Structure 1
Amino acid sequence: MTLYDYLRELDRPEYSSENPLEAYADRVGTSAGYLRVHVLKARKAASLRYMRKLAEASEGNVSLPEVLMHYGVTAEELNKKAA
């Protein structure tokens, strides 16, 4: 699953209790608003440490390579072997 799809799936304001996006934001250590504005559209560069948090907090729904690709790292770059 892509990070974009995962975030859109979580952002369900119709829930009577806590929005699942809020719970994910708590696990990442940020706010749902930050996820909506900066992460969903990848408008701001993120550190590798933060990208790892995004992947880990998804509890297996989004892998680190998928998060990296969300931020513009191509599949070819991920598959390159270190020289």
Structure 2
Amino acid sequence: MKLREYLKSLDERQLERYAARVGTSSKYLKSHVMGASRGASLKFMRALANESDGKVRLLDVLVHYGVPPEELDMKAQAA
């Protein structure tokens, strides 16, 4: 599931709890994460994926923040 879709699927209470688990506020999630208007640390991106209860993969979060999928495929193949 795409990160934006996941965030939109949460009601206000769920969004507040998710925000607390990832170490931010629901306002920050709405204003900066939904539109990927600010960069994010790998630690924060991992938290976004890990705290989604398996609904959002780290790969989806990386793509949300602008990492091209083909670049991620190349790194996976090199490993």
Same fold (TM over 0.5): yes
Alignment of structure 1 residues 29-68 onto 2, 5 Å: 29-68=23-62
Tell me which amino acid in the other structure corresponds to 1:73: V
**Structure with a larger share of its residues in helix:** 2
Taking structure 2 as the reference length, what is the TM-score of the superposition? 0.91
Match of 1:16 in 2: none
Unmatched segments (≥5 aa) in structure 2: none
Distance in 2 (CA, whole Å) between partners of 1:79 and 1:61 is 21
CA RMSD of aligned residues (A): 1.3
Distance in 1 (CA, whole Å) between partners of 2:20 and 2:32 is 16
Match of 1:20 in 2: 14
Deviation at 1:61, TM superposition (A): 0.5
For 1:23-62, what per-residue CA distance to the aligned partner results, in whole angstroms no more than 9, with x for missing partners?
Answer: 1001101100000001000000001111001000101000
Query: Which has the larger Rg?
Result: 1
The reply to whether residue 5 of structure 1 matches residue 2 of structure 2 is no
Sequence identity percentage: 55
The count of residues paired between Structure 1 and Structure 2 equals 77
The one of 64, 69, 72 aligned to 1:75? 69
Distance in 2 (CA, whole Å) between partners of 1:74 and 1:2 is 14
Distance in 2 (CA, whole Å) between partners of 1:36 and 1:66 is 17
Tell me which amino acid in the other structure corresponds to 1:7: L
Taking structure 1 as the reference length, what is the TM-score of the superposition? 0.87
